[in-house]
Homo-oligomer: A and B are copies of this chain.
């Protein structure tokens, strides 16, 4: 069996771990910095761990593609796989911790007005205290209760919010940090009682534009929005209007309709909008990379033994 691994962030310790696991099942492994570095003798590999879109599109022998990201929307179009039966797994469980931390960080930066304070101190000014909000006693709504939403809820809980409501398709979660769970069909009921809306949704036909102008209007005056899932979930133009009018006290976006955000995007100058360049979840945190590799190796063992893979993506649902 041939395995291609494409990941420039890997350290020697990760490569060693992967090599040992490959040896154990009699597989050959090739590490590539980028997809274009795959040698001819590995172009027909059975397994690919990494962003190998071009190989997936052309390699009829590819039986399993494991992407190191959580999002797989780029692999949902027809023609992405030369082998239509190719199994797809993602690394969705690896990012919950780091993205949840980011969500807490940007929520506090906005609510406690630390962005404005930081700008003042950059200019060497000793400013005055500003009216501030807090996670304490806030009504938090978590839209999307997968790995990221759960890890966020666990952390948010420690700040003693008034409530944490999870909203998902099923309306069910095993995470006890949610004070209650609602179905997505009840979203319009909970929005008017939301001080902080924390969104971590995959990109699917159902999640596109879920935070529409109509729904933004349902959020109370002075509320906050955080989005770390996919940019397509938010009507960016409407969001900017609600920020400029002051209806929303702040929004933090890590994801956008177009990335990188175009230079001439009006979002750069939108009032009380905290922009981050899709960095909430990346492999620069040791923990995330370790977990990413461990999840692949766990499923490599399953794959070799003919067991079902744990991190399987439902190619119909898109996550």
Contact = CB atoms under 8 A, between A and B. Distances in A.
A129 B97 CA distance: 17
Contacts of A122: 119
Interface stretch (A19-27, A40-48, A150-158): A150-158
A307 to B, nearest CB: 29
Interface in A183-204: none
Contact of A101 (B112, B117, B275, B285): B112
Contact of A124 (B127, B268, B282): B268
A289 B48 CA distance: 57
A260 B126 contact: yes
Interface residues of A, number: 53
Contacts of A133: 285
A95 to B, nearest CB: 12
Given A155-B158, A284-B130, A108 B104 contact: yes
Count of identical protomers in the assembly: 2
Contacts of A274: 118, 121
Interface in A234-258: none
A105 B109 contact: yes
Contacts of A154: 158
A76 interface: no
A261 interface: yes
Contacts of A98: 134, 136
Contacts of A259: 126
B132 A285 contact: yes
Interface of A: 97-98, 101-102, 104-106, 108-109, 112, 114-115, 117-122, 124, 126-137, 154-155, 157-160, 259-261, 263, 268, 274-277, 279, 282-287
Given A121-B277, A131-B284, A133-B285, 19 more contacts: A97-B134, A97-B160, A101-B108, A105-B105, A105-B108, A109-B109, A115-B118, A117-B279, A118-B274, A120-B277, A124-B263, A126-B259, A126-B277, A127-B277, A130-B279, A132-B285, A136-B285, A136-B287, A158-B158
The 8 lowest CB-CB distance pairs between A and B, nearest first, are: A158-B158, A126-B260, A105-B108, A129-B282, A121-B275, A126-B277, A124-B268, A155-B158
